[in-house]
Amino acid sequence: MLDEESLVSAISDINSVHIIGAGLNKERTAHTAVGEISQRGWRVVPVHPRDAGATVSGSPIRSELEDGIELELVVLFLAPERAQKVVKKLLLKDLHHPPLIWYQPGAEDETSINWLEEAGWKVVYNDCIVRFLERNNMVISKIPLPWFRQVIDSDESGCSIWTVHEFGESSDLPVSKVEWVGDLLELEQSNHIIPKYIRGLVNENENLEDCARRLAN
């Protein structure tokens, strides 16, 4: 496991923090961690399959870790058995640059920690990511990104509705099924069929963000 100084250096070079288990339940520490880490400048990506499409502290909740997304720091706010399942899936992904895996207190699973260490991945446990950032007074420059969402039209027509949302914009859980949600970075990287389709609609002399905004009008 990295020592404190090495960990400070590693996290200083990170822009994105994926928080697994961060949903709408305000009583869960994963929920409050989203806002606390975001306020320090990091791009925070909450992941919770049941609450995908809503927001936590202005950050849209994703349903899963999609293929193609660059992962830098993955924080596990999960029970040990669920943490093990997430780690197993991550190890099976074809990742060119493995992310730093952080087990929040209570999420530690000896089996999956051993898997990661044997694979040469960097792992942190027995520490809280929020308290770590606080005691090291860590802050980075925030990069505001718009986010996008596609849902099934509630009129049962079978059509889909694509919308654009500004950085920090809050949203409740949509009443209809969420087909995809993500910010501009995920729109650029994700191998999900919807971002791939949107990327294919970019016109000449138009960037991806302009295209995504045009399609929402």
Average pLDDT, the chain: 95
State residue 1's pLDDT score: 77
Helix (H, G, I), strand (E, B), or coil: what is residue 183?
Answer: strand
Q: What CA–CA distance (Å, rounded) separates 172 from 170?
A: 7
Q: 157: pLDDT confidence band, cut at 50, 70 and 90?
A: confident
Task: Show the domains of the chain with their CATH numbers.
Answer: 4-135 (3.40.50.720), 147-216 (no CATH)
* Mean pLDDT value of segment 122-133: 97
- C-alpha distances in Å from residue 166, one per residue of 74, 156, 183: 24, 27, 9
The two structure tokens encoding residue 95:
């990742």
Amino acid present at 8: V
Mean pLDDT of 196-216: 97
Residue 156 has pLDDT above 80, yes or no: no
pLDDT per residue as tens digits for the range 16-69: 999 999 999 999 999 999 999 999 999 999 999 999 999 999 999 999 999 999
Residues 112-129, mean pLDDT to the nearest whole number: 96
The answer to whether residue 71 scores a pLDDT higher than 80 is yes
Q: What percent of the chain has pLDDT over 70?
A: 100
Structure confidence at residue 194 (pLDDT): 98
Binned at pLDDT 50, 70 and 90, residue 124 comes out as very high
Are 61 and 174 in contact by the 8 Å Cβ rule? The answer is no
Q: Single out the residue of 155, 153, 150, 172 nearest to residue 216, CA to CA.
A: 150
